[in-house]
Structures are given as structure tokens and as C-alpha cells.
Amino acid sequence: MENLEQNPKTNRKEKTQEIVVLRWGHRPKRDARLTSHVALTARALGASGFLLSDIEDKKLKETVEKVTENWGGKFFFEMGKKWKSAVRDWKAKGGIVVHLTVYGENVQTSPVLDKIRQSGKDLLVLVGSQKVPGDFFSDEVSDFNVAVGNQPHSECAALAVFLDRFFGGKELAKGFKEAKIKVVPQERGKKTIVEC
């Protein structure tokens, strides 16, 4: 869980908080597309890995790993581990658990993000698919229950807003090393560079 980043002010490497996303409740026939979007959002917006708990979906894993291979960066995908074991192991390593839920503390109207950042600990972010077990809300599981808004919305949107708020937009300019495909930003049209 060691993640170091160069601080431009001090020119020293400092530990940054690592974020891993745990997806719970994935139903392969119903949720495959949305779960892949949750994983790809996690990857693109600064998370370092993805845990698909309680189930295996090899096609989904292949999709995410292929994107990582082509578009670069380091991003791991694990599956099949029970969510309770994943949470227990994460906490045993000193990390905290953030549960994204519409019922949580609102990121705009509460100091919850400041508290999470100030902990200095790595984050396991729980993202549900279907109705989550009531245990998710307990302090035995979640150190923070966080809402990006207190209205119904997509879990993919919740993750994107949370990551963007947590990183303060810096993740949008992140470079991905060893990318075979790179987008060349421009005002109009589509341009990519493909390196073999």
C-alpha cells in the first residue's frame, strides 16, 4: 500500500493515500456493463485497483486488464474474495473504509472529505450494485458513509464525483506510463497515437 508522489513545493517524495474500489453485489447478466464502467472510472480517476467481491466474472476482468494494457498505468483487478474478508484485511493493514451511499454525509455540506484526507490512511471505497447489507453502514465495516448527493443516482456517478473531489481534479491530468494508446486532446475531431 506504499504510494509515493513528488511534492513540487518541497521536491520530496511524500506518501499519498491509495484508493482501491470494492464492488459488491455484481450480477453478471444484469450489471456487466455498469460494473465495467465503475472499474474503468476507478482506473481513469486515480484508484490503484479494483476488487470484485463475492463473485468471479472472468470476462469483466479481461476487459479491464485489456484497457490497462493498452491505455497504460498500473491498476490491479482481483475477484472472488468475500467482502467481509476484504474489509477485515484492509483494516488490518491500517486502511480505512469509505462506503458511498446516498444516505451518507454529503461531500458538499459536511467536512467528511477533510476528515478522510486528514486520516492519511489508504482508502477502500465500497460501491454497491444492488441493495447493500445493513452491515455496510456500521462502524465495524465503514469508517465513513459518504454521499455525493442525497438523491437517487448511479454508483458510477457517485464514484466519479467522490474521486474527483478527493483528488481535487489533479487526477484528470494524470499521465499513464507504458500506454500503447494515447489521446491527443484537440478542439475538434479525434486523434490518437498508437505505439506498438
Q: What is the CATH number of the domain that holds 138?
A: 3.40.1280.10
> Tell me, what's the pLDDT at 15?
72
pTM: 0.91
Split into its structural domains, the chain has a count of 1
Classify the C-alpha dihedral 145-146-149-155 as positive or negative: negative
Question: In this predicted model, what pLDDT tens digit does every residue of 154-163 receive, in sequence order?
Answer: 999 999 999 9
Domain residue limits at 108: 4-194
* Predicted local confidence at residue 5, as pLDDT: 54
183-to-70, 134, 147, 167, 190 alpha-carbon distances in Å? 12, 42, 32, 22, 8
Which element (helix H / strand E) includes 5?
A: strand 4-7
**Whether residue 143 has pLDDT greater than 80:** yes
Confidence band (pLDDT; 50, 70, 90) for 1?
A: very low
The C-alpha atoms of residue 137 and residue 52 are separated, in whole angstroms, by 19
The closest alpha carbon to 158, from 107, 97, 95, 87, belongs to 107
Residue partners of 119: CB distance under 8 A and separation at least 6: 96, 143
User: Does residue 151 have a pLDDT over 50?
Assistant: yes
- Tell me, what's the pLDDT at 130? 86
| pLDDT-derived band at 167, boundaries 50, 70, 90 | very high
